[in-house]
Each structure stands twice: as structure tokens, then as C-alpha cells.
Amino acid sequence: MSFFTRLTDRCLSVDSLLCIGLDPHVELLRQATAEEARDFCCRLIEATADQACAFKPNSAFFEVFGAEGWTALREVIAAVPEGIPVILDAKRGDIASTAQAYSRAVFETLGADAVTLSPYLGSDSLEPFLADPERGVFLLCKTSNPSADDLQALNIEGIEPLYLRLARLASGWNTADNLGLVVGATDPITLAQVRRVVPDMWLLAPGVGAQGGNLEGVCRAGLRQDGLGMVIPVSRGIAQAEAPRAEAIRLKERINSICESMDREAAPVLSSSMAALADALLEAGCVRFGEFKLKSGAKSPIYIDLRLLASKPNLLTHAASAYLPILQGLHYDRLAALPYAALPIATAISLQTGRPMVYPRKEIKDYGTGYAVEGGYERGEKVVLIDDLVTTGGSKFEGIERLEAAGLEVHDVVVLIDREGGAAQELAEAGYRLHAVYTLSQLIEHWVGVGKVSPQQADEVKRFMGIRD
């Protein structure tokens, strides 16, 4: 039985994704001794064992006591009841015989079921830890410390940040269902990005509580579609509570309540990462409900302003990454952004993919170069047209006309939101394919399902837009 099969069985048997962190900080102890660190952890184990999907002792707080601390750590692991996985937070990382020795120390000497590892030395540094399918590894992918981006967010080959490249590699290394990833809970957008790249892998998401991670945001960003796939560790939030057991019960029930609300959502059409982006767009004011006067004089119950993305870099990056699965299935040489809202979006896509960008001008200058299309390109190249949203095909045809007049080929148009105003049919009749990350009805159904938009507001928008159920 693989490690994650065992973990899944445990989560289902106690209906819990809560992992109890065992971090005996010296300031929490009655006295600074290895014996007190052991007793502190054993009290937590006894109080919370029936609520925990796993326990996660941090080796550093035991190693500080020397040989006595090592003995105390082994005794703490032995105190965890049979059937509850123990994840040793040790962040090991080395190669060859050294890695083998570390593996034996973790799994044989200490008796842990899984361990956290550093990926810096590559796949061969993981092999001794992954050799037994019953033993698990959680590989550091995106951590929550302030300087994590110094390395983890470095752009790889102009395509994607290092942490996403690592996630893809780890998915390929997970041949025995015993490799997962550590992704900090303090950044739900990043967590959602990783989940999108590895839809099936287990994630360990530390940072809820003392570090500021929001429990609902973490669940929505990181859970798989089956409601599993993520272990949520909490340490100080439980250890420092007046009644640790009561706090563990509260957290477990809160997680389950969030999961149940997600299950009740009217239209489970969005993945966890897509749902997180949809909610972020709403919270940022990129989509607003109310009464808005349009240029035509008509009053609309909805207003979409994706130009706001330009001043929200994290959200812009997340939105741009949502285009990538569509773009990966298309054949093109360059991106072509329609001014103005799509310019920052296409730039972010270009930075993530390494694909060059051009854009057709709205107004052609009668001085300077007089170019109708800005940027370097060669005649005959294929471009994919990028825009923020689409209602009808009008503005898209104007951009396409200028691109084709410059000798570029256009076959595909990709937008973030299709307002479902007939653009897909208009473009198709002219020989172009429309691809949208979201349709407006998908977004509305999701927001109604999570209680962010009322059914009455949804009905008003659908009537105004002519969207049929």
C-alpha cells in the first residue's frame, strides 16, 4: 500500500485534513529539556489523536537538545497511535550514501512515515527516500518565508517560475504514489497555480494560523476536486490554545464546513485554481454588480473592468497563467495584444512563456515609422490574438484586419472572459476560432454557488446579456 493510499484511508476514516504540528518551541516548555519537549508533544498527541489525519514533528526543536533530543523525537514518533501517519519536518537534502543514511535515520531509526526534503540536488537525492512506496516524501516547492522568491520564483527559460517547473518535474517523479509537495498556505494564488499544474498530487500547506494563512482561501485554492489531496498542518494555533483539543476540533470542523460548502456549489465546473482566480477577480473589483451606465446610455447590472489587472501584479500573473493551457494547444509564433486592456495581460503571458509579442495600433501615426503593428515580426508568421474579454466580434475584427494587412496570419483569438454576446459565432463564420478561459455564465454560476452573488443579481445579468440557462 502506497504512502498516499494510507494517508487517504486515514483522512477518510476520521473525516479530517488537519495535521497536528509538533513544534516544542523552547518558550512553550515548562523547562528547556528534551524530556519536557517529549512530554509537551505527547500531551498534544493524546489530546488530538482522534482529530488528526497526521502528525508533523519538527526535528529542529529536538535536535537542539543533542543526543537526548534525538531520543525524545524517537519516543514522540512512537507515541503516535498506529495508523496515523507521521511526517517528519526535517528538510533533508543530499546525494548518494549520505542520502541513504538520512533515509535510514528517518524511516528506520526514528520510525517516521514521511519526511520533508529539499529539491535542490535533483531527483537522485530523492531516490533513497522514495524507494519504499510505503514511505512518503513532501518536497519543498513554494515556501512562505519572505525571501523565498530569491530562488523559487526565478523565471525558467522565459516560460514559468522555478516552483512551477519543480512541480511538473515532481509529478513525473511520483511513480509510486509517495511524493507530494510543500506549498505555503500564505499565498492562495500561488497554491492555486501549483494545484493547476499538479491536479492529482498531495500538497502539504503549512502557514495557517500564526503565519497568517487563511483557511478558506487555502481550501479553495489547494484541494483536489475530490475534496482531498491536501494536508493542512497547524502547530502553534493548537499548542498555544487554552484548550488544545477543543481548538483541534474547531479547526477540523471548520475545514469540513468549507469542504461541504464547496460541494454544495451549484456548478462544479471550475477547478480549484480557476475558482480561486474567479474569486480574486471579483474581490479586486474587476467584476462588479449593481447599476452602471454604459456608453450607449443603457443601464447594465454588471461591469467588467480588467484594466485593473495592470495595477495588481500578483493577480495579473495569475490571470495570465490561466491562458496558458489554451495556448499550449495552439500553433503560433507570436502573441498579438489588442490595446489597451490586453497589453499588460499579453506582456505577462509573454514573460511566462517566452513568446514574443506584437500589437496592432489603434491609431496609425503619420510620423516616425508609421507602423500599424508595433514590435518585431516576419511576414507569414502566425499570431494568436490576445484580449481581456469579448462580447461581439467587432473590435477583434479591427485588430485582425491590421495584423493580416501587415502579412501576419491569424487563426485564433483567446480571451479571459466571453460575455456570450455572439462573438464566437461571428468569428467562426469569418474563419477564426474563439477560446475563452471563462464564459460569463460559468463565473456567475460559480459566484452564486459560493454565496458571493445573489440569485437575483445573476438573473438580472443573464436577462440583460441574453444568456440562456
**Residues 465, 419 contacting (CB under 8 angstroms):** yes
The CA–CA distances, whole Å, from 67 to 34, 35, 62, 63, 71 equal: 9, 12, 9, 7, 6
**Residues 441, 447 contacting (CB under 8 angstroms):** no
Q: What are the start-end ranges of the H helices in 96-232?
A: 96-104, 127-130, 149-152, 162-173, 188-197, 215-222
CA 75, distance to chain mean position in Å, is 36
Q: Which long-range contacts link 24-32 to residues 24+ away (Cβ below 8 Å)?
A: 24/61, 24/62, 25/61, 25/236, 26/61, 26/64, 28/236, 28/239, 28/240
DSSP annotation of 125 reads G
Q: What are the start-end ranges of the H helices in 215-298?
A: 215-222, 236-239, 244-263, 272-283
Q: Which residues are catalytic?
A: 91
Q: What are the start-end ranges of the H helices in 309-341?
A: 313-327
SS3 assignment, position 397 = helix
d(CA 55, CA 235): 10
* Crossing angle of helices 67-79 and 34-48, rounded to 10°: 10
Q: Which of 169, 193, 194 is nearest to 179 (CA)?
A: 169
d(CA 40, CA 65): 14
Q: Which of 209, 124, 121, 194 is nearest to 153 (CA)?
A: 194
* Crossing angle of helices 440-449 and 455-465, rounded to 10°: 170
d(CA 149, CA 186): 14
Q: Which residues pair with 439 in a beta bridge?
A: 418
